[in-house]
Structure 1
Amino acid sequence: MRSNGEISHRHVEGDEEAENEVCSSPKVVVGYALTSKKKKSFLQPKFLSFARNKGIFFVAIDLNKPLLEQGPFDVVLHKLSGKEWREVIEEFREKHPEVTILDPPEAIQRLHNRQSMLQDVADLNLSDCYGKVGVPRQLVVTKNPSTIPYEVTKAGMKLPLVAKPLVVDGTAKSHELFLAYDEFSLSELEPPIVLQEFVNHGGLLFKIYIVGETIKVVRRFSLPNISEHELSKVDGLFRFPRVSCAAASADEADLDPNIAEHPPRSLLEKLAGELRLRLGLHLFNIDMIREHGTKDVFYVIDINYFPGYGKMPDYEHVFTDFLLSLVQNKFKKKPAVAF
């Protein structure tokens, strides 16, 4: 917790009254370094107002000045990429171990690679949690697209295949997805890529938001099932939008209960808990599908760091509680001072 109430920053998110208030006796100061797109979607006026009423203030980090000269902060919230920024954060963390960094750059980096991001899921054993969670069979191709048909055949993978860029760097291109119906079209892809077997899932995706210990599930429309008949009639390579970010929510739709039923809560709690530990992250989301025709067979197809929380139900309350708990827990752990 902050005791001296001093802040050297000039730009506090909110109105002039908030700036005067933050200079007197703030409870929690969150320094943030976000892209303009992430700032707009996350730091919405309603959220800023609600957080301010709880004593939480968001201060923009000036990227043109050394981070060590800014603050003081209780929490640093960031979603910027690049080696230079990682070095800045690491230096700040060494000099200010009392500040909570959300999240460590080296942990975030694992989610920038679609091969490493799902490895922890593949290593889990959740068979005793009212369901089974795995990852689709996948193949990483780093060079020479002409060899992709051979590599797919050698790996025994079944068509159709979803093709995704190997590296996730926040650009639109890194979220370009393709569906390959035949092996000949695979040579049109541009490595490095990850190929995943397409799993029929009833056209529905579960987007599982993780904020510390809190789990929220949102249903989104996804790609429809592909029948054997369709597979025999269609060929080629088809580009489709980033499904998990589609605006069309399926939460209010009239859906088949067998498809729409949420994954078991105990399964989600176990999965989220294990991934929090293995990934070393507080803020991420899991894109999960249920294999069509089953009740308890699920696949994780993507994990994203610091997703679009502005689309998560009740995110203002969830995130505010999370930030307060971080600082309160750290305060409780401080050793008592003897007089």
Structure 2
Amino acid sequence: MGGEAYKTAEEVVEEKEEVVVVGERRTEEEMVAAVTPIKDSVVVVGYALTSKKTKSFLQPKLEGLARNKGILFVAIDPTRPLCEQGPFDIVLHKLSGKEWQHILEDYRQTHPEVTVLDPPDAIQHVYNRQSMLEDVADLNLSDAYGKVGVPRQLVIKKDPSAIPDAVDQAGLRLPLVAKPLIAKSHELSLAYDQFSLKKLEPPLVLQEFINHGGVLFKVYIVGEAIKVVRRFSLPDVSKRELSKNAGVFRFPRVSCAAATADEADLDPSVAELPPRPLLERLARELRRRMGLRLFNLDMIREHGTQDKYYVIDINYFPGYGKMPEYEHIFTDFLLNLARSK
């Protein structure tokens, strides 16, 4: 379940992508020399990320600020036993594969003093679009600042010929957004008519498209910190357009960080950010329920309403490099984590 229909491109774990190992940034000897003499005065953060993620996240400005604050980033070599590396105060990771999950779980059991961001089983929960938004739906958040829900949706695991009947039985309204069941791709499709549903390729999730003024809110969460930005999204679909259009329209990626809507001349009713108290309560509840500290939410406001919001996607360890002031927010988060230990 999720919101590629409305969302920006985020970093996605590619299973075949090359993994950065220690030697690409510093030799093992250099790492030991850097860590050992000053271990008591620095926060050592071991990271296991794909090459693409390393490049987007560990930007020079972040590393420079981290050094000034006493934080040292050290690459983890996934081909070597994790217990032989470090010592680490924090392990930051976003790699796929069951073998890596087992390695990390074993490490968490044998090194309880190390903070692992985040637990592998909790991360898997948001990779599957069937379970991704369950916590938001169960929360059914409603207060004086607004109501937060999820779009109605349907999981299709096989047999595309049966999709039209399944949609009828579920009572879903067209157009429908189709997304891969496993959130490893940001490709999505928008199906305008019943007949075209047979052209879709399961396993997938079908989600009702909700008009939202062509703008979504990316809510970045780093521990207790929250940062919200606007992004352009798919435009609204009128009843007239729905009656005239047919077929399935594919969108590899709807928008990107360059398509920010923060500076655009937008209708105030569309541009107004969700109320801060509502976001703080939502983030607090989801951190507790999901067991995650690094994620973002894609939210929309139903067009024509003031306070009706939908969470349409959740991403673990998203592209923080696109978040304004991420260097300061992330380094403060790491320091606070280390102090709390």
TM, length-normalised to structure 2: 0.89
Deviations 1:211-252 (A, max 9, x none): 000000010000001001101110000011333645311111
Which residue type is aligned with residue 301 of structure 2? R
Deviations 1:28-70 (A, max 9, x none): 0000000111000000001000001100000000112111111
Which residue of 249, 259, 265 corresponds with 2:270? 259
Aligned partner of 1:24 in structure 2 is 37
- The 8 Å contact of residues 221 and 246 in structure 1, kept in 2 or not, is answered as no
Deviations 1:283-329 (A, max 9, x none): 00000000000110001110000000000010000000000000101
Of the two, which has the highest radius of gyration? 1
What is the alpha-carbon distance in structure 1 between the residues aligned to residue 241 and residue 140 of structure 2?
Answer: 34
Which residue type is aligned with residue 25 of structure 1? I
| Offset of residue 165 of structure 1 | 0.5
Which residue of 37, 43, 56 corresponds with 2:71? 56
Report percent identity of matched pairs. 72
Which residue type is aligned with residue 213 of structure 1? E
- State yes or no: 1:80 paired with 2:95: yes
Root mean square deviation, CA, Å: 1.9
Unmatched 5+ residue regions in structure 1? 1-8, 331-339
What is the alpha-carbon distance in structure 2 between the residues aligned to residue 21 and residue 70 of structure 1?
Answer: 13
Aligned partner of 1:326 in structure 2 is 337
Q: Which has the higher contact order (CA 8 A, sep 6+)?
A: 2
What is the alpha-carbon distance in structure 2 between the residues aligned to residue 13 and residue 327 of structure 1?
Answer: 24
Aligned partner of 2:179 in structure 1 is 164
Give the aligned length: 317
- State yes or no: 1:93 paired with 2:104: no
What is the alpha-carbon distance in structure 2 between the residues aligned to residue 246 and residue 196 of structure 1?
Answer: 24
Distance 1:271 1:225, change over 3 A: same
Aligned partner of 1:67 in structure 2 is 82
Which residue of 222, 225, 236 corresponds with 2:247? 236
- State yes or no: 1:313 paired with 2:328: no
What is the alpha-carbon distance in structure 1 between the residues aligned to residue 198 and residue 37 of structure 2?
Answer: 63
- The 8 Å contact of residues 13 and 57 in structure 1, kept in 2 or not, is answered as no
What is the alpha-carbon distance in structure 2 between the residues aligned to residue 301 and residue 13 of structure 1?
Answer: 40
Query: SS of 2:259's equivalent?
Result: coil
Aligned partner of 2:302 in structure 1 is 291
Which residue type is aligned with residue 83 of structure 1? K
- The 8 Å contact of residues 12 and 57 in structure 1, kept in 2 or not, is answered as no
| Offset of residue 17 of structure 1 | 10
Which residue of 146, 149, 158 corresponds with 1:134? 149
Query: SS of 2:281's equivalent?
Result: helix
What is the alpha-carbon distance in structure 2 between the residues aligned to residue 185 and residue 314 of structure 1?
Answer: 44
Distance 1:22 1:69, change over 3 A: closer
| Offset of residue 168 of structure 1 | 1.4
| Offset of residue 125 of structure 1 | 3.1
What is the alpha-carbon distance in structure 1 between the residues aligned to residue 155 and residue 217 of structure 2?
Answer: 25
What is the alpha-carbon distance in structure 2 between the residues aligned to residue 207 and residue 276 of structure 1?
Answer: 16
Aligned partner of 1:108 in structure 2 is 123
Which residue type is aligned with residue 284 of structure 1? F
Query: SS of 2:131's equivalent?
Result: helix
What is the alpha-carbon distance in structure 2 between the residues aligned to residue 98 and residue 272 of structure 1?
Answer: 26
Which residue type is aligned with residue 120 of structure 1? D
Which residue type is aligned with residue 182 of structure 2? V
Distance 1:37 1:11, change over 3 A: closer
TM, length-normalised to structure 1: 0.90
Aligned partner of 1:5 in structure 2 is none
What is the alpha-carbon distance in structure 2 between the residues aligned to residue 151 and residue 122 of structure 1?
Answer: 21
Which residue of 191, 205, 211 corresponds with 1:194? 205
Which residue type is aligned with residue 229 of structure 2? V
Instruction: Answer with 116-125 or 214-223: which moved more.
Output: 116-125
